[in-house]
Structure 1
Amino acid sequence: MSIKRLLAIALTATTCMGVLAGCGGKGQSTGTSESVDTTESAAEATEAGSDLLASIQEKGKIVFAMEGQWAPWTYHDEAGDLVGYDTEVGKAIAEKLGVEAEFVEGEWDGLFAGLDGGRYDAIINGVEITDERKEKYDFTTPYAYIRTALVVGQDNSEISTFEDLAGKKTSNSLGSTYADLAASYGADVQNVDTLSETIDMVLSGRVDATLNAEVSFYDYLGEHPDAAIKIVALTDDASEVSIPLRKGSETESLRDAINKAIEELSADGTLTELSNKYFGSDISQANAN
């Protein structure tokens, strides 16, 4: 083994120790029962400047990063199995690529760090396309379209629009589009990890409001019909949900292959079927919102 390769392995291990997400802090779910090295295909392809798709197909797996605790996108059911819209879409894409999907779970603010470090091949976690993110990552064809909802306590009469967030406290995941949107309206954003935590903070009065995908709130209310929260505003336009990849020539063929898979899954009705299964409506089409 070359000195260069030894140094690359040492650097990858050192980076992994410093980042919680994807390095065993949250555990992982995989399509196979054997223990596998989730860093190898992405890191090796990046180091060698080779083709990531070819590396993925050679190893027979694509490594997706996700939170694993954001229903109905990606979460664990009562049996402890990893399920959700993104989980099933990821498996369907992997099947189109002729490989198995492996899912590594981590906290939101660590997913992109893991992608940057080559520990994951891609992220599938309801990621919205933004101008800022496009500067750093390549995005696939969108596979979902969502609006952002503003949620407050049932008795809150002070907030009815996004503009009313000025000077108020909100709760959201660090680095999420929801946190950024709240901050853009002058809110003091408190950082938390999960949707349940954000709603708990609203219910306890520790914050005034929270923002998240409209469909995620409806899913929460379906599970907690007596929750004393309400949606008071929605963004006018739907955001595009896509799969971010590292920029670079080594990911171009992977992006093209995933795009083709998404187009086929859309055309054959798979995305619509999965969307209706998990959201109760079709969010896979731009004109469905």
Structure 2
Amino acid sequence: MSVRRHTLVAALATLAAAGLLTACGASDVAEEVKPKGQKGAGINIGPDQNRIRGEKDEAIAAKVPEAIRARGTLRLGASADASPPLGFYATDDRTRIGSEIDIATLIADTLGLKPEFDEVSWENLFVGLDSSKFDAVLSNVTVTEERKEKYDFATYRLDNIAFEARKGSGWKVKSAADVAGKTIAVSSGTNQEKILLDWSEQNVEAGRKPVEIKYFQKDTDYYLALQSGRIDGYLGPSPSANYHVASAGQSEIVGTLSGGGDGVQGKIAATTKKGSGLVAAYAAAIDHIVQDGSYAEVLKRWGLSSEAVDASEINPPGLPKTEN
């Protein structure tokens, strides 16, 4: 058994022991996540996804540069980190599933291209774009003003982030003052890290205690630290936080805010190298799947309907640059 599969099986077994998972079939691990007491179907985490697929739109496909059309594939970068429900491995430890995979597949279908996913570390997503190894990245990337200098964006989801704490913490987060003196975990190099650092600086300037920030390698490490009391909270993408709260039943959301900070609504976008000639095709494909209803089906499937957009925007206002 691989290390990854061992981790997955252990995590699912823990949930099953708590009565939070409903098994489907004869697999050695549960293939459906369902909060305790929920009626009806849960979230399918097995390899047989019956993924929602689209059809090629000739007019939109014609917007793709000729070299890529001739190749016939859309090379997509995806984060290797397991982050349900955005992107993670099914119970077979081989099949990559999640909302980002589904949306990327629909975009590729609309463009008449075969999606090819390459899973790399977060920083290597951008290295892959810079080197033209990837045609696009759909991996919960937020539009920022700094990133717009090197990349083009076609939005497909609102970006909200959430503070997660142990159930019954009595803690509510609405502003920087609410995190003063707290120990909070966050992923390095993310927008949520930037916001947390900014809030910590605001607290220091106001004479309050700074935030003690902790970093871990995997989501499971954050959650273990949270349950053991080593951290007060975890700031991460709202989809992942809500998924964990619903499936594990041991924590709660104590605050949400825009992934763009206080001044702008954060937006998640298909990201491509600036000047690649692809962003218009991505935006048109996203508009197409919004209009035909397949986009809404995907978001509903993964519990993300509240983050839907009505149309794709190309290079909208993003998270402001950090002032030095």
TM-score tier by shorter-chain length is 0.7 to 0.9
* Cα offset, 1:176, TM superposition: 0.7
Q: Which runs of 5+ in 2 are unaligned?
A: 1-62, 201-210, 259-263, 312-324
Q: Does 1:234 align with 2:248?
A: no
SS of corresponding position for 1:65: strand
190-199 or 112-121: bigger deviation = 190-199
Tell me, in whole angstroms, the C-alpha distance in 2 between the residues paired with 1:191 and 1:115.
26
Identify the residue that residue 23 of structure 2 maps to in structure 1: none
Q: Does 1:183 align with 2:193?
A: no
* Cα offset, 1:198, TM superposition: 2.3
Q: Does 1:195 align with 2:219?
A: yes
* 1:109-188 matched pairs, under 5 angstroms: 109-140=123-154, 142-157=155-170, 160-163=173-176, 164-186=178-200, 187-188=211-212
Letter of the 1:61 counterpart = T
Q: CA RMSD in A?
A: 2.4
| Identity fraction in percent | 24
* Cα offset, 1:113, TM superposition: 2.2
Q: Which runs of 4+ in 1 moved over 4 A?
A: none
Per-residue CA deviations over 1:215-271 (Å, capped at 9, x if unaligned) read: 22121122212x2x22111116742110111112xx12x111111100100111111
Q: Which runs of 5+ in 1 are unaligned?
A: 1-50
Identify the residue that residue 89 of structure 1 maps to in structure 2: 103
* Cα offset, 1:159, TM superposition: 5.8
Identify the residue that residue 16 of structure 1 maps to in structure 2: none
Letter of the 2:221 counterpart = E
Tell me, in whole angstroms, the C-alpha distance in 2 between the residues paired with 1:99 and 1:158.
48
Identify the residue that residue 243 of structure 1 maps to in structure 2: 270
Tell me, in whole angstroms, the C-alpha distance in 1 between the residues paired with 2:199 and 2:217.
21
Contact 2:64 2:111 in 1 (8 A): no
Tell me, in whole angstroms, the C-alpha distance in 1 between the residues paired with 2:90 and 2:118.
17
Question: Closer, same or farther in 2 for the Cα pair 1:138/1:72, shift >3 Å?
Answer: same
* Cα offset, 1:100, TM superposition: 0.4
SS of corresponding position for 1:127: coil
* Cα offset, 1:57, TM superposition: 1.6
Identify the residue that residue 60 of structure 1 maps to in structure 2: 72
Question: Closer, same or farther in 2 for the Cα pair 1:241/1:234, shift >3 Å?
Answer: same
Tell me, in whole angstroms, the C-alpha distance in 2 between the residues paired with 1:286 and 1:210.
30
* 1:250-261 matched pairs, under 5 angstroms: 251-252=276-277, 254-261=278-285
SS of corresponding position for 1:79: coil
Equivalent pairs, count: 231
255-264 or 65-74: bigger deviation = 65-74
Contact 2:290 2:310 in 1 (8 A): no
Tell me, in whole angstroms, the C-alpha distance in 1 between the residues paired with 2:240 and 2:118.
21
Tell me, in whole angstroms, the C-alpha distance in 2 between the residues paired with 1:170 and 1:234.
15
Residue of structure 2 aligned with 1:265, choices 289, 299, 316: 289
Identify the residue that residue 39 of structure 1 maps to in structure 2: none
SS of corresponding position for 2:146: helix
* Cα offset, 1:277, TM superposition: 0.5
Identify the residue that residue 27 of structure 1 maps to in structure 2: none
Tell me, in whole angstroms, the C-alpha distance in 2 between the residues paired with 1:219 and 1:158.
20
Identify the residue that residue 25 of structure 2 maps to in structure 1: none
Contact 1:149 1:234 in 2 (8 A): yes
Tell me, in whole angstroms, the C-alpha distance in 2 between the residues paired with 1:255 and 1:181.
27
Letter of the 1:161 counterpart = K
Question: Closer, same or farther in 2 for the Cα pair 1:53/1:206, shift >3 Å?
Answer: farther
Per-residue CA deviations over 1:183-210 (Å, capped at 9, x if unaligned) read: 1111343233443332222222332221
Letter of the 1:75 counterpart = F
SS of corresponding position for 2:125: helix
Tell me, in whole angstroms, the C-alpha distance in 1 between the residues paired with 2:149 and 2:184.
27
Contact 1:272 1:283 in 2 (8 A): no
TM-score using structure 1 length? 0.72
Q: Does 1:222 align with 2:246?
A: yes
Contact 1:66 1:104 in 2 (8 A): yes
Contact 1:65 1:124 in 2 (8 A): yes
